[in-house]
Structure 1
Amino acid sequence: MRADAAQRREAIITHARHLFAERGGDVALEAVAAASGVGIATLYRNFPSRGDLVHAVVQDIVEQIIHAVDQTRSTLNTDPAAAWKDLLSSLTAMELGALTDGLALQAGAVQDLEATPLAQVQQPAVDALNDVLAELKRRGAVREALSALDVIVAVATITRPQVAPIRGAAPGVPDQLAEAYLLWSRGQQA
Structure 2
Amino acid sequence: MNVRADARERRNAIVDAARAVFTERGHDAPLDAVAELAKVGIATLYRNFPTREDLVTAVAVATLTDVREAADIALTAMSTDPTNAWHTLVDRLVELRLGALIPALVERSFTELAPEVLAVREVTKSKMTATIGAAQSAGLVRADLQPLEFVMALAKLTRPQIELSDEAMPNLVPRLVAVFMAGLRPDGTDLPV
The answer, yes or no, to whether TM exceeds 0.5 is: yes
Distance in 2 (CA, whole Å) between partners of 1:16 and 1:189 is: 38
Residue type at the aligned position of 1:41: A
Selected match of 1:14 from 16, 41, 46: 16
Q: Where does residue 88 of structure 2 map in the other structure?
A: 86
Q: Given the superposition, is the C-alpha separation of residues 5 and 166 from structure 1 closer, same or farther in structure 2, using an over 3 Å criterion?
A: farther
- CA deviations 1:118-171 (Å, max 9, x no partner) are 4444221112101111122122111111111011101111221344x7454445
Distance in 2 (CA, whole Å) between partners of 1:148 and 1:51 is: 26
Residue correspondence of structure 1 range 21-36 to structure 2 within 5 A: 21-36=23-38
Distance in 1 (CA, whole Å) between partners of 2:159 and 2:15 is: 18
Q: Where does residue 130 of structure 1 map in the other structure?
A: 129
Selected match of 1:54 from 50, 53, 56: 56
Identity %: 35
Residue type at the aligned position of 1:116: L
Q: Given the superposition, is the C-alpha separation of residues 49 and 115 from structure 1 closer, same or farther in structure 2, using an over 3 Å criterion?
A: closer
Residue type at the aligned position of 1:147: Q
Distance in 2 (CA, whole Å) between partners of 1:50 and 1:121 is: 19
Distance in 2 (CA, whole Å) between partners of 1:177 and 1:80 is: 22
Residue correspondence of structure 1 range 23-172 to structure 2 within 5 A: 23-105=25-107, 107=108, 112-117=109-114, 118-163=117-162, 166-169=164-167, 170-172=169-171
Residue type at the aligned position of 2:173: P
Q: What's the secondary structure of 2:140's corresponding residue?
A: coil
Moved over 3 A (4+): 118-121, 165-171
Distance in 1 (CA, whole Å) between partners of 2:164 and 2:156 is: 15
Higher relative contact order (CA 8 A, sep 6+): 1
Distance in 1 (CA, whole Å) between partners of 2:164 and 2:38 is: 25
* Paired residues of 2:15 and 2:55 also in contact (CA < 8 A): yes
Distance in 2 (CA, whole Å) between partners of 1:50 and 1:171 is: 35
Distance in 1 (CA, whole Å) between partners of 2:31 and 2:81 is: 44
- Where does structure 1 lack aligned partners over 5 or more consecutive residues? none
- CA deviations 1:80-112 (Å, max 9, x no partner) are 22221111111111111243121243x1xxxx4
Distance in 2 (CA, whole Å) between partners of 1:10 and 1:116 is: 21
* Paired residues of 2:71 and 2:127 also in contact (CA < 8 A): yes
Distance in 2 (CA, whole Å) between partners of 1:184 and 1:12 is: 38
RMSD: 1.9
When the two structures are superposed, what TM-score results if normalisation uses the length of structure 2?
0.86
